[in-house]
Amino acid sequence: MQHISPVKTYPGYIVLPDYFGWEELDAWDEHMAKAAEEERWAAQKKHHEHAALAVVQEWHIEGLPERPDKLPANKAGAKLMGWIIGIVSMMINKDDLVDPFLSGASGDTSNSQT
């Protein structure tokens, strides 16, 4: 899935998988947990960088190599990582389940007597 960068300093796009396997999710989760433990901003960003590098399949961002081994350590680079974190977080937290207790949902399991 292609995502266009909103960061003016780093125009272009990245490609993420349509879904993550458990291995990618585990790598992401490990780095995000380590970032949460850090008190220093730069230490947090180091773990965010590893998380982003672990899940992005393709990089087509102006000023970055095709397969970067690091991301720019500047304010715009932090915005780029924040944008990636936001996209991945939405993908991971996506909930496609239908609540059977909502009115009108298919598969209604209410105990109505007729």
Task: Going residue by residue through the chain, which has 114 residues, state the pLDDT in tens, using 9 for 90 and above.
Answer: 999 999 999 999 999 999 889 998 999 999 999 999 999 999 999 999 999 999 999 999 999 999 999 999 999 999 999 999 999 999 988 766 666 666 554 444 444 444
What's the whole-model pTM score?
0.78
Q: What is the pLDDT of residue 105?
A: 47
Q: What pLDDT score does 99 carry?
A: 61
Q: Any idea where the domains of the chain sit in the sequence?
A: 2-93
Integer-rounded Cα radius of gyration of the chain: 19
pLDDT of residue 94: 78
CA distance 56 to 28: 11
The pLDDT assigned to 97 comes to 60
Q: Say what the pLDDT of residue 107 is.
A: 45
Q: Are strands 2-4 and 58-61 parallel, antiparallel or unpaired?
A: unpaired
Task: Tell me what pLDDT residue 95 has.
Answer: 67
